[in-house]
Amino acid sequence: MLSEKELYQQCVAGNRSAQKELFDRFSPKLLGICFRYSRSLEEAEDVLQDAFIRIFNYLPTYKNDGSLDAWLRRITVNTALNNIKHNHHIYDEMNLETAMDVQSDLDKSMDNYDSKLIWDSVQQLPEGYRIILNMHTIEGYSHKEIAEHLKIAEGTSRSQLMRAKQLLEELLKQNDIFVK
C-alpha cells in the first residue's frame, strides 16, 4: 500500500492503478459524507462520482500542505453542497429569522442514544436543518464558513443549527429512541 504522498504523486502522473487505489481507499468514507447530504443512497453515489471527477481534475492543484484525506473531504462536501444548490433548492426553504434564545442539552444526552437510530432521525430533519447540522457538528465548519458556502447570514446558520438540534431531540423523544 502506497503512502498518501506516493499515491498522490502516482495519481497526478496518470497511473491508473494508483487512481483506483485512491478511489478504493477513500470512497467508503467519502460516500458516507455524500449520504449525509443526500436524500437517498443512489443520489449519494451520484454525488460521490461527481466528487471523484472533481478530485481527479483538481488533484494537480493539491499543494500537499495538509492531509490528502482532509482535502478530499472538503471537495466532497463542496460537491454535495453544489448538488443540493442545483437540485434541491433548499435556500428557498430556509427562513431568515434570528436565533431564538433557547438552550439545548442535546449534545450531552446523545451518548444515551443508539447511533443507527440517531442517523435515521437525522435523515427525517428538513434538508436545510440537516445540512447545517452536518456541516457544523460533523464536518466542523464554523457558522461563518457555513454562511459563506450557503450564501446565508451567520445568524441564519446559528438559528438553523439550534432548530435542527431541537427538532432532532423531539424526534428522538417522540420515537422513544433511548438506549437503556
| Tens-level pLDDT at each residue, the chain (180 residues) | 888 889 999 999 999 999 999 999 999 999 999 988 888 889 999 999 999 999 999 999 998 778 899 999 999 999 998 888 787 544 434 333 322 222 233 334 444 445 677 777 888 888 889 999 989 988 888 999 999 888 899 999 999 999 999 998 888 887 665 533
CA distance 39 to 180: 30
Full-model pTM: 0.67
Rounded to 5 degrees, what are φ and ψ at 116? -65, -40
Residue 179 maps to a domain: no
| Count of CA atoms in the C-beta half-sphere (13 A) of 16 | 0
CATH number (domain holding residue 133): 1.10.10.10
Kindly state whether residue 146 falls inside one of the protein's structural domains.
Answer: yes
- Position of cell 444526552? 109
CATH code, domain carrying 12: 1.10.1740.10
**Quick check: helix, strand or coil at residue 77?**
helix
- Give the structural domain span for 28: 4-88
Regarding whether 107 and 81 lie in a shared domain, the answer is no
Q: What angle do CA 30, 26, 143 make, to 5 degrees?
A: 40
Question: How many domains does the chain divide into?
Answer: 2
Spatial separation of the C-alpha atoms in residues 48 and 39, rounded to whole Å: 13
